[in-house]
Amino acid sequence: MRRLTHGSKLVVASHNPGKVWEINQLLAPYGLNAISAGDLNLSEPEETETTFAGNARLKALAAAEGSGLPSLADDSGLEVDCLDGAPGIYSARWAGPGKDFGIAMKKVADEISVRNGWGPPHPKANFISVLCLAWPDGETQIFEGKVFGHLVWPARGGNGFGYDPMFVADGESKTFGEMEPAEKYAISHRTRAFAVFQAAMLDHLKCDNAGDGSTDARDLAAFSAAAASLSTRVEVASFVERLKADLEAKESQWANTTLADYLDALAARLNDAPATDEPAWRQLAKAMLAASQNGR
């Protein structure tokens, strides 16, 4: 079996900032130089397959062929038992063209109300992640992970992304949206799929976790991923709390630390922002992050 080597360049075949950031956190300790398909300006192929594995393979092959590098793609989603597995491979499409998962979660909740009701018991569901590693010559390998649990409504929490605020994993009391990132990643579907990928492709590489948590630098990649993925008022409130904590801990790394300077920079970012169909909350979060990094 062909394997990756230390220092290999690997394309993460996704334009979803939250997903790219999450996969990069898993890859970094193995010395892999990961870059996203978005950073390479690779177009996203239309997801025409009928399975998660088929769509993951399609995306990975498109990125591998377009970049000339090995590429890792993920296709993941929410499967609800009483909805016959929906939204399934259409999980992202239920969020509409603006990828507003507030809309998607409400649609899931409404469908459950009509077809099943909210119990008790709570409607059972699972998240699934299928990873595909593709090489430029067309060789592919598939790795799968699932996490089982139930759904709650109204949604709870502002962390994570997608359907996280309405999903409670078996044995847990908090939704993925209420968990801190480390709690979620310890049990997530993507982490479980990555464990299978790791055993097959990375176990021969030295895993260096020495730097985990030791840096005093702002984790701007994590903030950017969060800002680009949120959809609801509650998620923005959580994002603001995280920005506040970041300011208290790392004030010297902020460009604007007085209220007047920060609001000036925020107004400038909002005035300069291009027109977009993104949810307004997401646009605001991006502007708030930018105002912490740059002066007017």
What are the tens digits of pLDDT across the range 36-70? Answer: 898 899 988 988 999 999 999 999 999 999 999 99
pLDDT at position 201: 87
Res 210 pLDDT > 60 = no
Does the pTM exceed 0.85? no
Instruction: Please indicate, yes or no, whether residues 195 and 228 belong to a single structural domain of this protein.
Output: no
Residues 237 and 196 in one domain: no
Q: Report, as an integer, the average pLDDT of 225-250.
A: 81
Q: Which of 75, 246, 272, 277 is catalytic?
A: 75
What is the domain extent for residue 274? 220-293
Nearest alpha carbon to residue 141 among 235, 216, 70, 217: 70
Mean pLDDT of the chain: 87
Asked, for residue 118, whether it belongs to a domain, the answer is yes
Between strands 140-151 and 167-169, the pairing is antiparallel
Determine the pLDDT at residue 124: 97
* pLDDT for res 277: 76
Is 163 within any annotated ligand binding site?
yes
Does the annotation list 241 as a binding residue?
A: no
280 & 230 share domain: yes
Q: Are residues 15 and 140 in the same domain?
A: yes
Count of CA atoms in the C-beta half-sphere (13 A) of 177: 29
Three-state secondary structure call for residue 42: coil
SS3 content of the chain, % helix, strand, coil (to 5): 45, 15, 40
- R_g over Cα of the chain: 20
How many H-runs (helices) and E-runs (strands) does the chain carry? 9, 6
Last residue of a domain, one of 201, 236, 259: 201
> What is the rounded distance in angstroms from the CA atom of residue 286 to the CA atom of residue 226?
9
Q: Same structural domain for residues 191 and 250?
A: no
- Statement to judge: residues 140 and 28 lie in one domain: yes
In a domain, 215, yes or no: no
Mean pLDDT for 229-242 is: 77
Q: What is the pLDDT of residue 212?
A: 46
Does 207 reside within a domain?
no
Give the Å distances, CA to CA, from 256 to 221, 281, 295, 296.
19, 21, 7, 9
236/164 same-domain check? no
Flag whether 194 is marked binding: no
Give the pLDDT confidence score for residue 215 in this predicted structure.
53
pLDDT per residue as tens digits for the range 98-120: 888 989 999 999 999 999 999 88
277 is in an annotated binding site: no
Q: Which residues contact 273 (CB under 8 A, 6 or more apart)?
A: 283, 286, 287
The yes-or-no answer on residue 100 being catalytic is no
Smallest Cα–Cα separation from 131: which of 219, 179, 192?
192
Q: For residue 231, what pLDDT is reported?
A: 67
**pLDDT at residue number 120:** 87
User: Contact, 230 vs 285, CB < 8 A?
Assistant: yes
What pLDDT does 279 receive? 79
pLDDT, residue 35, reads 87
Please give the pLDDT value at position 198: 87
Q: Residue 274 domain-assigned?
A: yes
Instruction: Indicate whether 227 and 189 sit together in one domain.
Output: no
Alpha-carbon distance of 109 to 279, in angstroms, equals 20
Phi and psi for 19 in degrees, rounded to 5?
-65, -45
The pLDDT value given to residue 8: 79
Q: Residue 145: its pLDDT value, please?
A: 95
Q: For 62-91, write each residue's pLDDT tens digit.
A: 999 999 999 999 999 999 999 999 999 999
- Cα torsion 47, 52, 58, 64: sign: positive
184 is known to lie in a ligand binding site: yes
Res. 167: pLDDT tops 90: yes
> What does the alpha-carbon distance between residue 164 and residue 179 come to, in Å, rounded to a whole number?
9
Kindly state whether residue 4 falls inside one of the protein's structural domains.
no
Is 216 within any annotated ligand binding site? no
Q: 201, 231, 249: which is the final residue of a domain? A: 201
Which region among 4-18, 201-215, 270-284 has the lowest average model confidence (pLDDT)?
Answer: 201-215
167-169, strands of its sheet edge to edge? 33-36, 9-12, 71-80, 124-134, 140-151, 167-169
Q: How many domains does the chain have?
A: 2
Inside any domain, residue 25: yes
Q: Identify the pLDDT of residue 209.
A: 59
Instruction: Say yes or no: 75 and 179 in one domain.
Output: yes
Task: Measure Cα distances from 103 to 62, 158, 232, 296 in Å.
Answer: 29, 15, 9, 34
Strand partners, 271: none
What's the CA gap between 190 and 74, in Å, rounded? 8
Q: What value does the mean pLDDT take over residues 251-273?
A: 90
Q: Is residue 209 part of a domain?
A: no
pLDDT computed for residue 93 by the predictor: 92
Assigned domain for 1 exists: no
Cis before residue 121, ω within 30 degrees of 0? Answer: yes
Same-domain status, 177 and 48: yes
Cis? peptide before 165, omega within 30° of 0: no
139 and 276 in a single domain? The answer is: no
196 and 260 housed in the same domain: no
